[in-house]
Chains A and B, each alone.
Chain A
């Protein structure tokens, strides 16, 4: 049975879709069978970031409403063989997502994939709560900035109360993915540091993705950053994060920090997932 991951944040524009594509591709590049699912009904973008926007025929809402079978809606990635996309609908609205329908689709996907990665819409409305509802693991994407940290805190509260895991008394596994991090600015005192965010949110760290032009370049050409340039700094950080999701224990490095591999990373590695 596959594991269900929700990539969520509350706030928009922090890098959920980028991270869904990059983590999904990174896990698939290891050989795992992965499907990335877009829950942002009405404002889909995962198809564009993955470079599959012209190949969408059926979507999540079609499958939920029985207009299409799951295999008809799944789009296989052209570069990474074991990576699939289940797009969201662009023309319907989020009310077309029903709790029963989502449960059925997720259940079916779990039988065929190792990882089901759900890209949550921003906000705390229906789309976001349905995306997290059946998750085994949550990746909370956060920028080192006050409004993003506040919204992540709110989302953590929802993950601990409104998910199937929480309702059945189990612990929801949550990980922090700090994105758009600039080690130089943090060191100067102009940006929240990694341990500031960790202390406030109190969830283990999955990885630190540096602020980088490579992320924009990858979305421009329609490829996950781990595929577009697998040697770039953000790609390396996503590969490490994916390995941690798969259960490996790796020391966390702060990209762009001269002291990487030194005392700082040893401190963080204790907190790593």
Chain B
């Protein structure tokens, strides 16, 4: 990657595109419609019933397509964090 950069002048548009994609995937969740907020909270609540959730280790993203939106919830579960099933 860095070798190619030596030969090619760095262009800024790909950086803009990358930054926007990352930012918007997260913003769509926090500023999106009420349904998305509700889904996010309830899904996380269900998971929290069974494992200790560390908010730092939860990634919530939303991708938008022309016809559907995809809510992506990435939860990192440490092996030893599993609560005993009641």
Binds B, one of A61-69, A99-107, A182-190, A252-260: A182-190
A194-219: CB near B (< 8 Å → 1, else 0) gives 00100011111000000000000000
A146 close to chain B: CB less than 8 A: yes
Contact of A146 among B20, B27, B31, B34 (CB under 8 A): B20
Binds A, one of B10-18, B38-46, B52-60, B74-82: B10-18
Interface size on B, residues (CB 8 A): 20
Contact of A193 among B13, B31, B32 (CB under 8 A): B13
Complex contact B31–A196 (CB within 8 A): no
A67-97: CB near B (< 8 Å → 1, else 0) gives 0000000000000000000000000000000
Complex contact A202–B13 (CB within 8 A): no
Complex contact A146–B19 (CB within 8 A): yes
Contact of A200 among B11, B21, B32, B66 (CB under 8 A): B21
Interface size on A, residues (CB 8 A): 23
Chain A's nearest CB lies how many Å from the CB of B29?
A: 10
Complex contact A161–B33 (CB within 8 A): yes
Residues of B within 8 A of A228 (CB): none
Complex contact B31–A161 (CB within 8 A): no
Binds B, one of A35-43, A131-139, A147-155: A147-155
B64 close to chain A: CB less than 8 A: yes
Complex contact B33–A160 (CB within 8 A): yes
Complex contact B34–A161 (CB within 8 A): yes
Among residues 23 to 62 in chain A, which have CB atoms less than 8 Å away from a CB atom of chain B? Answer: none
B23 close to chain A: CB less than 8 A: yes
Contact of A196 among B13, B65, B66 (CB under 8 A): B13
B71 close to chain A: CB less than 8 A: no
Chain B's nearest CB lies how many Å from the CB of A183?
A: 13
Residues of B within 8 A of A204 (CB): 66
A157 close to chain B: CB less than 8 A: yes
A192 close to chain B: CB less than 8 A: yes
Complex contact A157–B31 (CB within 8 A): yes
Residues of B within 8 A of A200 (CB): 17, 20-21, 24
Residue of A at shortest CB range from B12?
Answer: A190
Residues of A within 8 A of B65 (CB): 202
A191 close to chain B: CB less than 8 A: yes
Residues of B within 8 A of A156 (CB): 64
Complex contact B32–A189 (CB within 8 A): no
Complex contact A203–B14 (CB within 8 A): no
Contacts from B to A (Cβ < 8 Å)? 11-14, 16-17, 19-21, 23-24, 27-28, 31-34, 64-66
24 contacts across the A-B interface (CB closer than 8 A): A149-B20, A150-B20, A150-B27, A156-B64, A157-B31, A157-B33, A160-B33, A161-B32, A188-B11, A189-B12, A190-B11, A190-B12, A190-B13, A191-B13, A192-B13, A192-B16, A193-B13, A196-B13, A200-B17, A200-B24, A201-B64, A202-B64, A202-B65, A203-B66
Known: A146-B20, A157-B33, A189-B11. 10 other contacts (CB 8 A): A150-B27, A154-B27, A156-B64, A157-B28, A157-B32, A189-B13, A190-B11, A196-B17, A201-B64, A204-B66
